[in-house]
Amino acid sequence: MVWGMQPSDVALKRDDQHANTDHDCNLCQADLCRLLKQGRSPRVRSLNRGQRLGGPSCQKIWRILSGLAALCTTLPDGRRQIMCLSLADDVICPASSGEAWIEALTPTSLCEIELDRHGTPNGADAALYAELFRIAHDHVMSVSTHLVTLGRLDGMERVCLFLADMAWRSGQRTDGGWRVHLPLSRDDIADYLGLNPETVSRILSRVKKARLATFLSPTDYLVPDIDALQDRVPMVPPHQPRQSDREERGLHLV
């Protein structure tokens, strides 16, 4: 198993470089910054596609500054499962009774927070622990939603949920619909959705035929009617639309 650890530090990027900074973030920015300062000196790492961080026992958490990272596990026979996808501003804490890593799916930079061997940050106070609890709690939520996806949705439903979710998380609204960049390969999508790459490709072709999404290239698509896409999925989207969008759409999701 090759480990792409790359310890070179780079300058901390400013928050306002990220398009998503204004939305409902899983984590209060100010609190996390404070947490970063109080722990060991925050360390920024850069990873190229395929490089990994972490290991079996979680003693660090990371915040993604830019790029796309996956929390994933590989079974002894090579089967891989991506447990969670993290975009800019997301916080991840690798936790698994087996082996789990953070793997960069695109060039990624992230900020590392050191925990001590009890899984708690150095010099933590109640507010920091509260923040850690919130992080872990949010993580439980997203992993739980994904678990239901894998346990009870068929291929078409999984792919539609994935496309809609990516649109909510990183898409740009245009007059022609939502324009989304998909920085994952078909293999990555398959490993995220618990399918195999050929199945993903076939389902994507069905999605195109049904005009639920138009592909400008294998890595860019347009969703003309995101409600139509969402209607194929019997689930509340894991990353709900921003408050402003919800109001515009006249929805009042829980």
Contact between residue 97 and residue 57 where contact means Cβ atoms under 8 Å apart: no
To the nearest 5 percent, what fractions of the chain are helix, strand and coil? 35, 25, 40
CA dist., res. 11 & res. 231, Å (int): 43
* Using rule CB under 8 A, residue 113 touches a second copy: no
Q: How far is the CB of 168 from a second copy (least distance, A)?
A: 12
Residue 11 beta carbon to a second copy: minimum distance, rounded to whole angstroms: 30
Phi-psi region of 211 (alpha: psi -120 to 50; beta: other; left: phi over 0): left
Sheet (strand 177-181) strand order: 172-174, 177-181, 220-223, 214-217
Q: Which two tokens stand for residue 158?
A: 């999984």
Asked whether position 199 contacts a second copy by CB under 8 A, the answer is no
What is the per-residue binding string for a second copy in 84-103, x denoting contact by CB under 8 A? ---------x-xxxxxx---
Using the rule CB under 8 A, is 124 a contact of a second copy? Answer: yes
Total residues binding a second copy (CB under 8 A): 54
x/- string (CB under 7 A) for DNA, residues 212-241?
---x-xxx----------------------
Report the residue from 77, 209, 217, 252 that binds a second copy according to the rule CB under 8 A: 77
Cα 171 from Cα 80, distance rounded (Å): 26
* Residue 125 binding a second copy, by CB under 8 A: yes
**Spatial separation of the C-alpha atoms in residues 210 and 193, rounded to whole Å:** 20
Figure out which of the listed residues 25, 143, 156, 228 binds a second copy, where binding follows CB under 8 A: 143
Nearest to a second copy of 11, 126 (CB atom) = 126
Q: Which residues bind DNA (CB under 7 A)?
A: 154-156, 185-187, 194-205, 215, 217-219
